Amino acid sequence: MSELLHARDLTKAFRSNTALNGLNLSVNEKEIVCLLGANGAGKTTTINLFLGFLEPTSGAAIVDGTEVTADLKRARSKLGYVPEQVSLYPALTGLENLDYFVRLGGGHRDESHLRGLLDRVGLDQGAADQKVGAYSKGMRQKIGLAIALAKGARALLLDEPLSGLDPSAANEFCRLLRQLADNGAAVLMATHDLFRARELADRIGIMKSGTLVEELSPESLDQAALEQVYLNHMHDDETVDETAEEA
């Protein structure tokens, strides 16, 4: 069982505020780990550190044995990333967007392969040739996932991918993730949807004020335990939102 994502004493401080404090976490292949926490708990910071958008204050983010700060390019080549808002070029079609992102990631896939991918993530064949300006959020998330798949990413980082999706779209998306994990991917997903996390994850990390306060297995979470987690950890922190610090 290889360890694809590994955070070792990962710490990120913005001036006075420590957004992430000594995180130790690993995600293995075929495993889905959900990070749960309120806004400002450090989930997005963790993902940004893995992607190299931020540099750690101390500690290391390691992707499939490569430390991100040491070889950003190599680390990124193994990562797939689906943000909360999958941003696409509205003037291009779904297929063109996919093709563009794949090429810019340094890869190349022929059209039939790309169409196969869109099929695999459940996008209608008709939609692939429409400009994405008219896409629903669920369709955009699918393109986002297809982009990650196309580059053959072994580790997927997802930042609140489910927020704003209607229940059936969210269901379908989760099913897809499970499939990918079963095929060997390591998935790290930030969310604040307790119920989805319990359904989907192999492990759940609870974060609060930049610290991983608890690691749970979904089986251990019955209704009462869920309620407890919610009351203890899921209300908004008083800390500054790290995205605000970035900007």
Q: Which residues bind other proteins (CB under 8 A)?
A: 51, 53, 73, 76-77, 79-81, 83, 85-89, 91-92, 96, 99-101, 103-106, 108, 131, 144, 147-148, 151, 247
Residue nearer to other proteins on the CB measure, 37 or 144: 144
**Minimum CB separation from other proteins for residue 114, in Å?**
13
Structure tokens belonging to residue 136: 């629903």
Residue nearer to other proteins on the CB measure, 45 or 209: 45
User: Which strands make up the sheet holding 79-82, listed edge to edge?
Assistant: 79-82, 155-159, 186-191, 31-37, 203-208, 211-216
- Return the biggest CA–CA distance within the chain: 51
**Minimum CB separation from other proteins for residue 223, in Å?**
37
**Minimum CB separation from other proteins for residue 128, in Å?**
16
**Minimum CB separation from other proteins for residue 244, in Å?**
13
Find all residues with CB under 8 Å of 87, minimum gap 6, and list them: none
207: β partners: 37, 212
Residue nearer to other proteins on the CB measure, 44 or 239: 44
Q: What is the DSSP string of 51-73?
A: HTSS--SEEEEEETTEETTT-HH
Residue nearer to other proteins on the CB measure, 148 or 204: 148
**Minimum CB separation from other proteins for residue 121, in Å?**
15
* Distance (Å, whole) CA 3 – CA 28: 4
Residue nearer to other proteins on the CB measure, 63 or 221: 63
